[in-house]
Amino acid sequence: MTIDAIVAGAGIWGCTVARRLAETGRQVLLLERRAAPGGNVRCETDPQTGIEVHSFGSHIFHTHIPEVWDFARRFADFNGYQHKVLANYKGKTYFLPLGLALINKFFGVELSPGEVAGFMADEARSRALFDAFFRGYTSKQWGKAPEDIDPSVIKRVPVRENWDTNYFNDTNQGIPLAGYNSMFDRMLDHSGITLRCNVEARLENGKFKAGGDELPQSVPVYWSGPIDALFGWKFGRLPWRTLRFEKEILPVRDFQGTAVVNYTEAEVPYTRIHEFKHYHPEDKKTMEAPATVVMREYPAEWKPGDEQYYPVENAESRALAEAYKVEAAKYEGLTAGGRLGEYKYYDMDKSIEAALKATANAKGGV
């Protein structure tokens, strides 16, 4: 078998890289440690209800990047789902993000858009909103007080001065009509891609191996596994937060009326409840079925062997990640990318964008 490039990790970054390289005439060996491609976007169909369950937490495709949207639509038709997130605080339910719907209900006022800035200039009001909707939630998510968290984490929260309750600003949103697994299957359906699952790629004595096999050493390697694991954690382990999930099938048509509800109080042990049938409102049979699948999400401190979900952003972790990136630069032809390879939080569209950039110069056959 001819191998012109090796891609380690068949998540969304690795699958995009493999497809782009294959379309330039390369023969790509794609290695995946799990039993199937898709990374944390991988879904399963619940056998009892037929509902597509996002096994690793909800994933909504959204983007404002034309090249990314064009690429994704080659492999999936999207249903146009618009993501709306609710927040439960002290038994009352509010629309996120921060906007007129939440502010007016929380404070019992009727502000117009032009009045929001002045109203929220009151520090006591800003603090009340932060304490209600972010202090407890953030402390659960990151396992520490909000004051100890890098400000960039808080800045991810959308804030608006209108009635728009869509969580994302992106025009292009949706869930693949045929499911995420179908999207990955179509992406990898190319004669230039050979997928090997249940295989762990590694670097041993300066040589790349897959299982017990030594790989060709003179071809480019695109690595999307944990960058610290690639080098045997020689500088130490990068810190992560992980998640655990509790799935439940309930004998009701509709449990919470929306896909995601955040539980913001520190006393509630989980951060979110997902109800997956709401991601496919076009599927009337499933929507009207007298059963639903919900999943509670519990953040936890990461330890070796757990899934790595969120990089812990602080000065120490950034310095450690940089040391591994410097080490990776010593290997000619090695590109480390994706959430694990770059130690960077990525939305799906940003992961595809990064993969397209990583393969931008691969324009011809080898």
347 is catalytic: yes
Global confidence as pTM:
0.94
pLDDT at 366: 30
What's the CA gap between 135 and 145, in Å, rounded? 8
Polymer length of the chain: 366
pLDDT at 126: 87
Which residues of the chain register pLDDT less than 50?
363-366
What's the CA gap between 57 and 217, in Å, rounded? 37
What's the CA gap between 81 and 166, in Å, rounded? 10
Are 135 and 146 contacting, i.e. CB atoms less than 8 angstroms apart? yes
Cβ neighbours of residue 318 closer than 8 Å, sequence gap 6 or more: none
What's the CA gap between 211 and 268, in Å, rounded? 43
The catalytic residue among 20, 42, 135, 272 is 272
With H, G, I as helix, E, B as strand and everything else as coil, classify residue 172.
Answer: strand
Within the chain, which residue ranges are assigned CATH 3.40.50.720?
Answer: 5-37+188-236+312-358
The catalytic residue among 110, 147, 156, 332 is 156
pLDDT at 361: 83
The catalytic residue among 196, 202, 241, 296 is 241
33 is catalytic: no
pLDDT at 145: 77
Q: Give the tokens for residue 293.
A: 């699948």
Q: Give the tokens for residue 281.
A: 């409102």
Torsion angle (degrees, nearest 10) of CA 278, 178, 75, 279? 0
Q: Give the tokens for residue 327.
A: 């080490």
Beta strands in 135-229 (DSSP E): 172-174, 193-197, 201-204, 207-210, 213-214, 221-223
Q: Give the tokens for residue 241.
A: 């937060």
Which segments of the chain does DSSP mark as H helices, in order?
A: 12-22, 66-73, 100-107, 116-120, 123-130, 136-142, 151-154, 180-187, 227-230, 284-288, 315-328, 338-342, 348-358
The catalytic residue among 313, 347, 349, 353 is 347
For tokens 């960039």, what's the residue?
A: 152
Residue range 156-207, pLDDT digits in tens: 566 789 999 999 999 999 999 999 999 999 999 999 999 999 999 999 988 9
272 is catalytic: yes
What's the CA gap between 214 and 223, in Å, rounded? 16
With H, G, I as helix, E, B as strand and everything else as coil, classify residue 13.
Answer: helix
pLDDT at 338: 97
The catalytic residue among 26, 42, 160, 339 is 160
The catalytic residue among 170, 297, 342, 353 is 297
147 is catalytic: no
pLDDT at 365: 36
345 is catalytic: yes
| Count of other CB atoms within 10 angstroms of residue 320 | 19
Cβ neighbours of residue 144 closer than 8 Å, sequence gap 6 or more: none
Closest alpha carbon to 16 in 222, 154, 162, 163: 222
| The CATH number of domain 5-37+188-236+312-358 is 3.40.50.720 | yes
What's the CA gap between 357 and 302, in Å, rounded? 30
With H, G, I as helix, E, B as strand and everything else as coil, classify residue 290.
Answer: coil
